[in-house]
């Protein structure tokens, strides 16, 4: 395979929500620790996250939501990051991710992105006139040695991965909460299927493991069949 093996790894509610609401200031990382009945078992998600791949793919919007544009510089971790972003990250956010990452690759279609003003030894840019996930994944493997990558982006990007059949595995931690709201991001967002002829774009899964965690949490691990 000319691209990395991919695993979608996410924390979601029982009704499939990956955020606590539709506003950018609402976020499970910030809000779940405040909710009795949810916060008690939340540590299990972060403990599992520490065992995922040494490459992680995310979006600039998600990174901006967790505050990288204003945070002080962090200590480096042994994880490499690929971030897809056109407009959400500023120069501080880019420098933060450079300081955090073993290798940091920005994937952008914005020729005026502030990242082009930054030079760091571990920082690289994949510029595309139009986003191509297959091409970006191929370059991550061939140019940067990425063999396996964990996908932790938002629902819209997850939807692009799904429709282009770029998921190999799905690893979900389910929190014991219902959130609701049709505008709240779900595990897979993006364009809906509109006809039976499009059913080939479905992601069919084979369950590999179902683990009952503490405090009413679940972990579901699947292999994507097609």
97: pLDDT strictly greater than 90: yes
CA 143 to centroid of chain Cα atoms: 21
The residue among 33, 40, 9, 32 whose CA lies nearest residue 216 is: 40
Contact predicate 152/19, CB 8 Å: no
Question: Mean pLDDT, the chain, as a whole number?
Answer: 97
Give the pLDDT of residue 64: 94
24: pLDDT strictly greater than 90: no
Confidence of residue 126 (pLDDT cuts 50, 70, 90): very high
Contact predicate 221/209, CB 8 Å: yes
Confidence of residue 132 (pLDDT cuts 50, 70, 90): very high
Element (H, E) at 91: helix 91-100
The residue among 62, 119, 128, 55 whose CA lies nearest residue 89 is: 62
- Range 5-224 classified under CATH 3.40.430.10: yes
Domain spans of the chain, in order of start = 5-224
Report the distance separating Cα 106 and Cα 94, nearest Å.
Answer: 9
Give the pLDDT of residue 1: 87
For the stretch 42-93, pLDDT in tens is: 999 999 999 999 999 999 999 998 999 999 999 999 999 999 999 999 999 9
């Amino acid at each position: 395979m000319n691209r990395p093996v991919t695993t979608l790894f996410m924390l979601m509610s029982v009704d499939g929500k990956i955020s606590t609401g539709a506003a950018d200031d609402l976020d499970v990382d910030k809000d779940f620790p405040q909710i009795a009945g949810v916060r008690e078992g939340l540590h299990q998600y972060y403990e599992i996250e520490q065992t995922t791949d040494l490459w992680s793919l995310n979006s600039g919007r998600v990174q901006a939501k967790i505050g990288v544009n204003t945070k002080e510089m962090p200590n480096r971790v042994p994880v490499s990051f690929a971030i897809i972003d056109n407009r959400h990250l500023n120069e501080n956010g880019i420098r933060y991710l450079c300081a955090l990452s073993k290798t940091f690759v920005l994937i952008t279609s914005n020729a005026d992105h502030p990242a082009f003003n930054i030079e760091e030894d571990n920082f690289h840019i994949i510029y595309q006139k139009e986003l191509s996930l297959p091409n970006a994944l191929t370059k991550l493997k061939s140019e940067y040695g990425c063999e396996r990558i964990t996908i932790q982006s938002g629902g819209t990007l997850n939807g692009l991965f799904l429709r282009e059949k770029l998921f190999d595995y799905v690893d979900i931690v389910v929190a014991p909460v219902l959130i609701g709201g049709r505008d709240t991001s779900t595990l897979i967002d993006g364009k809906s299927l509109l006809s039976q002829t499009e059913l080939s774009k479905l992601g069919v899964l084979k369950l590999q493991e179902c683990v009952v965690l503490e405090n009413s949490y679940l972990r579901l691990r699947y292999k994507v069949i097609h």
